[in-house]
Amino acid sequence: MSKIYLLRHFKSQWNLDDRFAGWVDNPLSEEGIKESENIAQQFIGFDMDVIYTSPLSRNHQTVCRTLRLIGKKYPLFIHLDSGKMQKWGNFTDISENDLTTYVSEKLNERYYGELQGLNKQDTIKKYGEEQVHLWRRSYNIAPPGGESEKDVYKRTVPFYKKYIEKDLKTGKNVLVVASHNSLRAIVKYIENISDEKIIDLELPFGALIKYSFDGENYSHLQ
């Protein structure tokens, strides 16, 4: 029986500034760093074998801080995109102090298009709360020039099945550190949430969702 933990990154600077971050790379805020201090106890009994994350620095920082706080190995970041895995090989000789951490843009946050960088409250004043909520949380509606949750699902879930679920089927315990909408897509797949109900799923900063996997079915862990 393998385990998978899904961890949303801690609060970034643009999250603190209430701006649409999307694919824009910005670091964790001081508030987010302080919030991370409470994560260690949630990993008791979880012996992770591999980590998956996106290229965004707020996710990388969350990986690094989490491993430091729980006293695990150091992350060895290996990029899976653009044929880099083939270039660098399989890393069969990595140090016992390294923990393989695969990086892929498939796990990036939703691309917010024309909204990226805008203040969320100013955007609500301009377009209305209901419209902005649909852009942020609905399944089929995309913000101007950006991705819908369906678009995120179509890039994230095939990657999940190809790499992450494959690792789970071999008995590995996996930690996924990513952003809100890529994790929402994964949870939608795991829990078979309908297109209509996914709008209700919210994962706060630092949220940790735990599952066991028996090779076919997922079960929630406390």
Spatial strand order in the sheet of 98-103: 74-79, 98-103, 50-53, 174-178, 2-8, 208-213, 218-220
Q: Determine contact, residues 203/182, Cβ cutoff 8 Å.
A: no
Whole domain around residue 189: which residue ranges? Answer: 2-220
Residues 63/75, Cβ–Cβ less than 8 Å: yes
Q: What angle do CA 40, 46, 51 make, to 5 degrees?
A: 90
CA-CA-CA-CA torsion sign (80, 152, 180, 114): positive
Supply the mean pLDDT for the chain.
93
pLDDT at 92: 57
- The pTM of this model reads 0.93
pLDDT at 82: 60
37-92 pLDDT tens trace: 989 999 999 999 999 999 999 999 999 999 999 987 899 999 888 655 544 455 55
Residue pair 178/54 in contact (Cβ under 8 Å)? The answer is yes
Cα gap 14→95, rounded to integer Å = 35
Domain total of the chain = 1
Task: Give yes or no: 9 in active site.
Answer: yes
Alpha-helix runs per DSSP H in 3-108: 13-16, 30-35, 57-70, 84-88
Residue 60 is among the residues annotated as catalytic for this protein = no
The one catalytic residue in 60, 109, 165, 180 is 109
Identify the CATH number of the domain in which residue 64 sits.
3.40.50.1240
Token duo for residue 82: 């653009």
**pLDDT of amino acid 186:** 98
**How many Å apart are CA 77 and CA 66, to the nearest integer?**
15
